[in-house]
Structure 1
């Protein structure tokens, strides 16, 4: 990694965060705005520009050599565009071009948010020291990214490793992505909660109906809550094992709100992996919690920018 500073943007359906990050992954300056996700595309872009204006007002700005963006997807890094599912006004929005204009022509690297988080975990977190890794976020959705042969592997459009949309149930429910039986349709937080409610779990009157509440009920021994997490763990195990079989990853790092359930998720996940990761070369696969927390998107976007500027690229072709 270089020692220069880069600007980072983490763009999601709830918030747009920005930062200046140094070559050791330390956040030096930060700014944030709510995402005006239901407004028109220019209003969303104004929020991005406000975040950039705030971080560029820092006296550290002259040391910035590049900008990295981790965005909710789909993204198309080859075209420099984003079409986040949860920001309806942005469809094929030319984000790279607009950000480059806002920062005076600095190089801009775009990756999907799952790839950004993977970059962060490999640089500073739980996947450090592993040349072949899958990093996942299990939250409202299920995303991911890959490190292969020691290099971040975003793929041509910046979406490689999107494990949430591997099909693990051939005749399963339709997924909003257009597929069927996807990991996300079973293992995401809202689907864990939906399945528990359908199975007869009931929160306290007026209580929390989220996956976190289901996790608390599972810890207390509620059989329906336990079963919902077991089903999620089974879907994750099938997707992780398929990925490991295909590209020989050595570690799977899992973050996001659902991973906050701890052993309620990880214990059945490790059990289920024994059923699916059966071939000799995947049996030693490690599964561990993520370490980077809520700053992973920013740190990972910075990592992508540092690598992209080093490699002379402006989109997704970033290496380790």
Structure 2
């Protein structure tokens, strides 16, 4: 594609709270598109960068500081002047927080994207007619691939409805003193496989302070010790009587879908408990015609940040 390059020298604009002489560069393409930006004496882009569609409407507007995008980049629809299509807020590690809009101006989804443009974290999806929250999907990058981890569907009233696979979990405290234990409680929210036949369990590192699962759970191969780390499986209260007092406080109808256990950190500082909550059906011990259905499972991965602080020294009584 051929271009015409037009340079305007000595343009003075206000940048970074000081007067700085910048050169305005305007590139006009054969198809009518235009690209306008400013560079400093070191040829680094500074300030606002604009690209235009052939019809003269703005394609996108970005802000640069020392040749790097900062703040946000705003993309516009071609057919309607100044109608926002996407706002991408720049985050650390070249991540972007996206807000995406329909031509009618209603935001229909928002959430975080990685530097490879994969959705990650919780994404909110809105009704395209009234803008009300419709559902939430939580994405994780697991072993290099995007994974739909959980989902919540909302009624018009804003309440969650029985649709989408998710779990509930709660640590007693995220911030504890050294020597104290963390009570971890997991429970099925909406099952993925079966409301009546599914069982549940949690998998965590055997010693998360020594060897933890990495952020993308690439070191979780139980079949190859060289690729995986030692792990522990915590079964549901249906099978586990380790904590009878806690178990007695939970309705027996919920024992099958509840996993409860304690962890006692031994180090001061910030850490993360990683693992996954598994819904499964195991028919290996019963006669079942379809052998492919002997074992079915669905994992929901979690990262629980914790912080352990030293206990204050006890003051000695004066003699």
Q: TM-score, normalised by structure 1?
A: 0.25
Q: Relative contact order (C-alpha < 8 Å, sep 6+): which is higher?
A: 1
The structure in which a higher percent of residues are strand is 2
Q: TM-score, normalised by structure 2?
A: 0.25
The structure in which a higher percent of residues are helix is 1
Max Rg structure: 2
